[in-house]
Structure formats: structure tokens, C-alpha cells
Structure 1
Amino acid sequence: MAKAPTVYDVAERAGVSIATVSMTFRRPHKVKEETRKIVEAAAEALNYVPSASARGLAHGHTGALGLYSYDIFLPEPDESLGGKAAGSSTRSRAKVPVVRDDGDDDYRRFPLYVHEVQRGVELECWQRGYALLIGGASQADSATRVTDIVGRVDGLAVFPDHSVPADVLERIARRKPVVAVSQRPQDDGLSHVSVDNRGGMRAMTEHLVAEHGMRDLLFVGYMNTFDAQERFAGFRAALRAAGLRVPSKPAQLIGESYVESVVADVLARDALPEAFVCVSDEIALDLMKALAGHGVRVPGQVAVTGFDGVVAGRVVRPSLTTVRQPMQAMGRVVVDILLERIADPAGPPVTRRLPVQVVLRESCGCSRP
């Protein structure tokens, strides 16, 4: 492969300085039209493509932001797509398989909260003229992967923040701006974008108690993030204010599958609550599927609520009552903070908390309007 032409080659062919070539592609309105046309003609003749990364590095920045997330549904490499068959052409026409629907319910999982936030980051980067480098991995090698990303970007967004060891994030934050998409558990030196987790879950619980007269509610979800802990705190606060029994912990894992074990346990004890209040839409959707598998009707026998506002909650039946986060807006705010910190590296960490709203649908017993 021939060596790629450089800015020096274009300058020599056009008979101008390399500064003029650079200005032609970066700020064409600053260059005389006649000169600009000469430079563009030289670049076209040489098949020259200006390097944004090279320009950025020359000025001490890359023009790119990084986004690192840990996705529990991150698939293993699909062997069926590898090897010669994936990219090779063949004379014979491959037979298209015809299969029966196997009941795969992955449609309920995508797009999830992380995908919606990522979309917001992508849109804002596009609008601001920044490239976006997206990465993710298993928790086992997260430190290595995120460090690799940091070396190629001007700032980094991470979510959830527990996907990378705290000491690694703190070390990165000493060198480059870092924004964690989560509530701030303590003064960790990072900037944060979050929502009103506690207030949102409290409002949801108050609706179930005040509007539906429910008294026996069970909170379902893992407490592995500060956001989840805040949601559980909001749930407890609403029960306490209503003079109801306040649980000290959510429903506990009994078997291998969390949701299935919760359903099996309450049914075995004949202790079906009036409502399952779930920490996320993902948990709520899995719970509704498990309940249907046991012949339990939602909302006829029990109400189910979620938290996030993912698309699947609108299309599943019954539709899911939830606390909706402004997920795309969160992604856009992440970029706004990163660029603010890049412009002012010595400035203090920034924390922004966005509002949420309770969206009433069928799964809590509220009929469609």
C-alpha cells in the first residue's frame, strides 16, 4: 500500500505553506477563495484526507470523548460470524434457514437505560463536533480496558461507576475529566450526573398507597449501586410517612435466579404482596414474565412497577407503570460537563441532578386514558 500523502505534500504541490493547508480544512472561510481552490485541487489530486487526530494532538487534545460502560448482556464473540464464511463471497447461494420462534424475549431488554444514555452522549458529541470512543468489558478486565480508552480521549464518561474500581477512576480523574453517571456516594473527586432517585421512588410508592390503597408492598432489586440504595430509601420513606411497616432490606435472593426465587418464595409462603416495587424496569419486566409463568395475573392479583422508562415498558402487556428518567438528556449533560471541565481543568467537580416523573400505566391497576 502506498504511503499516505501528508500536509507537507499538499503544501508543496499547491505552492503554499502548511499553515495555509491546515487553515483551508479547519477554517475555510479564513482563506481566500482562489487559494482555497488551489489547495483543495492539490489535496484531491493526491487523495489527501486531513487527520483530525493529528491536528488535535498537535494542539494538545484529541477531539474525542470516551464512554465506558459495563453491560451484563455483553455477548461473547459469535463464532458463527467468524472465519471465512463471515466475509467471503461464494459462487453458490447460501440457503436461508427457516426456524420457529423460540420464544426469545431479548426484545424486552433493548434499548435499556445504558443504551438510552449512550444515545444522548452520541447526539451531543455529534452536535458539538466531537468524536466518541465507546468501550466496555467484563468487570475482570475493566481497569485495563478503561485505561486504554483514556489514553485516546480528552475526557471520560463512566456508567455505572462501580464498573471500574474506585481507585482507578480517581487516578484517571487526576489526569483528565471524568463524569460518572450516578449519584455521588461520597466526595470522590468526580463529576456526577444523576436523577432524583429517592424522590422518584417515594412518589411511586405514595401513588400505590394513596391512590390504590395498598398496604403490603415488596421492594425487589439489588442494592449494588448508590442509585439503587437511594430508590430503596425513597420507598422506605413513603411507607414510614404512611404509618406502614418499613422493611429493613429488599426481597432476598433464595435460589440461583433472583427474580424467579422471589416469585417462588412468596408463592410458597402464600405471601403474595399487593405490589412488587422494582428497582428497575429490567427487573420489573423479568418479574412480570415470571409471574405469568406461575399463572399470577398483573395487575389483577398483584401490581408491578419499575424505574427507568425504557421502551419495552410501553409495548409489553400489561404496560409497565414506572418512574421515567430523562435518559437522553442525561447523556447530553454528561458531554456538557466534560467539555466544561476540559475548558477549565482546575475547576471543581460538577454534580447535576435531573428530575424524574411517575408514568402511570396498566401494571399498577391504572387503566389507559
Structure 2
Amino acid sequence: MPTEATTQFAAARRARAAHTAALLTATVITFTSPYAVAEDWPTHSITMVTPLAAGSAADVAIRAVTDKLAERLGQAIVVDNPTGASGTIGADRVARSTPDGYTLCGCNNTILGVLPNLRKVPYDPVKSFRPIGMVAVLPTLLLVNPALPIHNTQELLAYVKAHPGQLKYSSGGVGSPQDIAMTMFEAGAGVQLQHIPYKGASQAAVGLAAGEVDTMFCAIGTVLPLVKSGKLRAIAVAGAQRTPLMPDLPTVAEAGVPGYDYASWIGIVAPKGVSDTVVNKVSHELEGLLHDPATLKRFADQGIDPMYMGPADMGSYMAQDYQRMAKVIKDSHMAAE
């Protein structure tokens, strides 16, 4: 059955797709902060710590947003990509920074949902940060090597069951979005595949195209050229909703695994204690720029779906997603590399 978080997320996607004016704008809880800033914030440049690999789909989404956000705020935003310890070093740096609005964090569900459940991290994924706004989701595709006689999810399931223990899937590593998505698929479909981890999603996709493995889940922006060239075959979309980028492709749930829903979200948070002035101003500008044609085109060109969720809704979703990932990791006995 869909969780409250899944239902909330799906509702937000439908609202965005319909271009309605009420895009889940949240009321920010007011509190007194010892680091309250003047109404004319910002008065100098802002650092956007993005503990994601430079050039990755999530990094591209954050950079697309910060470019326009800088224009709207009237100050430069410097993107910094500290990726040590799978990004947890960068996230911890933000958590420990002065909450004055000049250090923000572009993050995803791996940083705040998966890694804290997979290994000990120096920050609390829920309590150490204040949500500002979700900005995008990365449509994730279920893919197979085109040499296999598989053209849809049902055929994949039948093939796995006919070849028990033989099919291999690739990912960017244990706990990567590709690994989490497939682990959820295995649990939902009652099948088991061999995991072949690579050093990144792009390498994992190349391995699939070369026939080193049989299947994988991967963000559409990473694999679209391989799909268009026929080197990979896309058979389903991982999320609860179809993606406008490939509207004819069914979701995994539609194609035979009821309730399946994997979403790789991207958002902006600040260290706890940041003022309402900062949160309100940034979240307002984020919502506005996700209607900007240039930003939307840049997203579409990179295989990214825009998705706005306000501070309160994002905070609720983050907390529930953290619990959801905890269950996935515990049930699968997933262990950090």
C-alpha cells in the first residue's frame, strides 16, 4: 500500500504536471533564532555546498537552480562539491556552519535518507537541517540489455524466475540510488538478482550496454543517449507517476509490481537555526524559478523533472523517506562497502 509520504509525493507531481497555481506552498513554522538576519539578506555571496559528484544528474539540477536563484537574490552563489565519504563530509560541514543563510546545502535522498541508515554519519539527517524546498526529481528507468528477449516488466520477471540466481544488475555501489531502486524491486516482485557494483552510475550503465550485466535502474539523464542509440532498452519508470520525458513508458507499478515507487529527489536545506527570513525568501524564489521557461528547458534537456515542495512539506517528506529507507536497508541486510 502507498505510504503517506508516497501519496504526498505523488500529489505534488500531479499538481506540477497540471500547472496549477497551488503547488504545495507550505506555511513556515515561526521561531526565534539567535542568528536572525536583516530583511535585506543577502548582502554578499552565498556558498551552496553540494556533496554530490560534479556533473552528476543531481549536481546539474542544483546548478541549474542556483544560477537562476543567484539572479533573483542579487548575489553570487558559489557551488562547492566536497564529496569525501560519499558526501557526508560536505553535509556535516553545512550542519556545523553558522546558520546565517550564507551556507546552504544542495542535497538528495542518498545524503539524507540512505547513507545515515547505511553507516554512522556525524549529523542527524532530520534534526541537523532546516528544509527550504524540494526542487526536482530524477526520473529513474528500469533498463535491460537489448540482447535479452525482454521488452517489459512482466517479461523481465518471467526471465528472472526462469533463470534463478543468474541475472545480474549493476549499480554505482552499495546504497547508491541504483542499488536501492533494485533492492526495492526485488522485495516487491519477490525475485533475487546478483548485484555487480561499479564505481559510479555512468560506469554501471556502460557495463549494462556492454553485456557485463543484464539489467539496472538508472536516472534517465545518465542513460538517455544509450537508450536513444539502442544500446539500452528502457522498459519502465520507477516512480509513482510516468515522466513527461517518456510519457508512453509505464511505471513499474503499472507494469506488474503493485505499490512500487522509487523517487530520487533533490532539494535545498540549511543548517538548523537559520532564520525565517532566509527560508521564506529562498523558498519563494525556488517556487517562482520552477515556472521559469529557461530553467524548465534546462531540466528537460538533462532528463530532470521539476518538483517544488515547500519547507514544511519537504520536512515531513524527508522524515518519512528516512524511515522508509531504514526499512529497505534493514530488510535487505544491506551493508556499507
Tell whether the structures are fold-level matches, with TM greater than 0.5. no
Q: What TM-score comes out, normalization by structure 1 length? A: 0.37
Q: What TM-score comes out, normalization by structure 2 length? A: 0.40
